Structure 1
Amino acid sequence: MTQQSESTTHPLGTPAPAAPFPPLAEPRRLGERRVWPRTFHDRLTAPLPGLKAMARFAREGSVRPGREGLAEIPLLPFSPAPLPRVGSRTIAVSWAGHASWVVRIGGLTVLTDPVWSRRIIGTPARITPVGIAWESLPRVDAVVISHNHYDHLDAPTLRRLPRHTPVFVPAGLAPWFRRRRFTTVTELDWWEAAELKGVRFDFVPAHHWSKRTLTDTCRSLWGGWVLTDRDGQRLYFAGDTGYGHWFTRIGRRYPGIDLALLPIGAYDPRWWLSDVHCDPEEAVRAAQDLGARRMAPMHWGTFILSAEPVLEPLRRVRAAWEKAGLSRERLVDLAIGGSRVLE
């Protein structure tokens, strides 16, 4: 049983400024139909790999851990437990695995990048089961999607949802959902927001990219989400991202983040992945840049997407946290299936 509760409120490192800057955008209308540029290549913070990089990766790159790294799979933390009961003024998070969370905030149940499938295109089957049974979920009030890569946008999982479920997506991604008959799809640009039953959903930048087919590279945007309830409690879901300047800017614009869900896996080889995936030390630095009060690691221990040993991200993030002199109780390093309640 990994459910925990805490009520401490001091931020990590240097606090963010007392007021957001620049001012937050007025919420946009839910389900608004919009016209977007044909491409978002201008939002990239690093160039995508060219022919030379692809040739080098084909020659020397590795996308799987070695035998010793794979031998750690049975040791991965997996501790499914019932979802905690929470009130409308309480934030709670439960980790289903990878970037999939069940977030309770402001009385809503929100899924992030839900992937309940055993397999996704282009990678072996998941190495740990889903930590939360789909049948045990409360009514899902909303879904947020960070970008369209297959390990974050999973069609078989989304087909399980009622088509009237509100979905919040990056700019350019609404047609994918409308083709699947979702009726309330809100697509946002960076720094834009919408509201649902008193909870504010802000879409924020990330150091990443998008692609789902051979012809749609960067045709839709990518990013993370800041969720804020009526009491001003905040949760940041980073989605998939490399390390860079956006974290400081997000922290300035959304001060007082109570919990940051940050990726720590899929980082090796570093020369290939550093622009788009944080390593554990960078994730700790990102939490400090954000001024977040707590950090929960994610995006590791579920799918084998790169070459680091499967338990290495957890070892390294714990070591980096201790080296930074941060309070151990503020590292919310859940087992898959575990929960944390923030009161």
Structure 2
Amino acid sequence: MKFTRRRVLTAMAGAAAAIGAPSIWIQTMKVYEGPVSDHFDGTQFFDPDGVPPKSLAELLRWQLGGDRQRAKWPEWAPSPHADTPPPRVDGGKVRLSFVGHASWLVQTSGLNILIDPVWSMRVSPVSFAGPKRHNDPGIAFDALPPIDVVLVSHGHYDHLDLATLSRLSAKFAPRVVTPLGNDLTMRSADAAIKAEAFDWHDRVELGGGIAVTLVPTRHWTARGVLDRNKALWASFVLETPAGKVYVVCDSGYGEGKHFRRVAEKHGPLRLAILPIGAYEPRWFMKDQHMNPADAVKALADCGAQQALAHHHGTFQLTDEAIDAPVTALGEALDEARIPRERFVVLKPGQVVEV
């Protein structure tokens, strides 16, 4: 098989969103500098309970290997739903609108919070290749209510979308809460983005009695060839009037330690938002992305009363079919004897109220 330069670059761009594969860009932006800790060695962040990310050689083995079996997604898979959110939600209710992939709008206590907002057509470092949308965002950008806070979990392209953050900044000027180092990525692209960076276990008051705590998750990050793990990644525990909401934007399962620790330190949890997609091939993805069976174990470990699924069906980051995560989730729930209504799958534009 001939590895042309364009084919290699296209493969790398196509993997960038799913796994943080080094993009073809050599980033020259500033990187985080701070004291050594139990998850920062002075140069790079690391997960004491995780594993290092896959190498470039392993990436190319997956992307260009002759034995690769990549399911073909439909060119367009529209959701039958579209949400027009109210300006605000007051009182003790929490309204969650699924935008698509890992993007959510959370409305509660008069506060409007976006999680990992992506309205772009591609999640890639280049315009000519990489994962593109297979359905529209569940909320049209112009239908968004005033956004007060944005939570960004890490720097991979399908979670930290600079174009969307700039649009939000220009229209709403929200606070952007993110793990250490990602603020530098944002401000290097657009100085108007009001990014605030925090470490694992930091608790941040958001207003209206709402707070968020950044918690460890089994993942990693990169945007360029020189910035692998130069920024931190996290999940979120959101304190709301209806209870705590555990938002896992990207994570492998490992031995389940991360989920059990959240249950111990932050439980009881009213709701968990857990990823179920972007998991094939398992030899490559298992350390950084859960499959549906892993997600069911994570639900049991964290002990949340209810779970919502995400990270599937919008961008084809990996090799499984577009409907495989939903089918496999139902099977995993049945095998674990967990009612399917406890772990719900939404389409973009659908809404849940707690």
Q: TM-score, normalised by structure 1?
A: 0.82
Equivalent residue of 1:160, what SS?
helix
* 1:83 match: 85
Give the Cα separation in 2 of the matches to 1:39 and 1:189.
14
**CA spacing shift, 1:166–1:74, aligned 2, 3 Å:** closer
**CA spacing shift, 1:143–1:43, aligned 2, 3 Å:** farther
Is 1:332–1:340's contact at 8 Å kept on the other side of the alignment?
Answer: no
Alignment of 1:167-178 (within 5 A): 167-178=176-187
Give the Cα separation in 2 of the matches to 1:132 and 1:193.
29
* 2:251 match: 241
* 1:99 match: 102
* 1:134 match: 141
**CA spacing shift, 1:278–1:329, aligned 2, 3 Å:** same
Deviation at 1:154, TM superposition (A): 0.5
1:59-93 alpha-carbon deviations (Å, 9 max, x no partner): 34638314xxx25x666754223336732311111
Alignment of 1:51-66 (within 5 A): 53-54=58-59, 56-57=61-62, 58-60=64-66, 62=68, 64-66=70-72
* 1:227 match: 238
Equivalent residue of 2:169, what SS?
coil
Deviation at 1:129, TM superposition (A): 1.3
Give the Cα separation in 2 of the matches to 1:76 and 1:327.
27
Higher normalized contact order (CA 8 Å, seq sep 6+, divided by chain length): 1
Alignment of 1:19-98 (within 5 A): 35=34, 37-41=42-46, 43=48, 45-50=50-55, 53-54=58-59, 56-57=61-62, 58-60=64-66, 62=68, 64-66=70-72, 70-71=73-74, 77-83=79-85, 86-98=89-101
Equivalent residue of 2:263, what SS?
helix
Is 1:206–1:224's contact at 8 Å kept on the other side of the alignment?
Answer: yes
1:298-317 alpha-carbon deviations (Å, 9 max, x no partner): 00000011110110101111
Kindly provide the amino acid, as one letter, of the partner of residue 47 in structure 1. Answer: P
Equivalent residue of 2:329, what SS?
helix
Q: Which deviates more from structure 2 when the two are superposed, residues 73-82 or residues 88-97?
A: 73-82
* 1:209 match: 220
1:127-173 alpha-carbon deviations (Å, 9 max, x no partner): 11111111111110100011001110111111112364111101112
Alignment of 1:1-343 (within 5 A): 35=34, 37-41=42-46, 43=48, 45-50=50-55, 53-54=58-59, 56-57=61-62, 58-60=64-66, 62=68, 64-66=70-72, 70-71=73-74, 77-83=79-85, 86-121=89-124, 122-162=129-169, 164-179=173-188, 180-182=190-192, 184-197=194-207, 198-229=209-240, 231=241, 233-244=243-254, 245-342=257-354
% identity of equivalent residues: 35
Give the Cα separation in 1 of the matches to 2:67 and 2:109.
45
Deviation at 1:208, TM superposition (A): 0.8
Q: How many residues are paired up?
A: 305
Deviation at 1:257, TM superposition (A): 1.4
Equivalent residue of 2:325, what SS?
helix
Equivalent residue of 1:337, what SS?
coil
RMSD: 2.3
Equivalent residue of 2:186, what SS?
helix
Q: TM-score, normalised by structure 2?
A: 0.80
Q: Which deviates more from structure 2 when the two are superposed, residues 257-266 or residues 45-54?
A: 45-54
Deviation at 1:334, TM superposition (A): 1.0
Unaligned segments of structure 1, at least 5 residues:
1-32
Deviation at 1:318, TM superposition (A): 1.7
Is 2:33–2:43's contact at 8 Å kept on the other side of the alignment?
Answer: no
Deviation at 1:339, TM superposition (A): 0.5
Is 1:61–1:269's contact at 8 Å kept on the other side of the alignment?
Answer: no
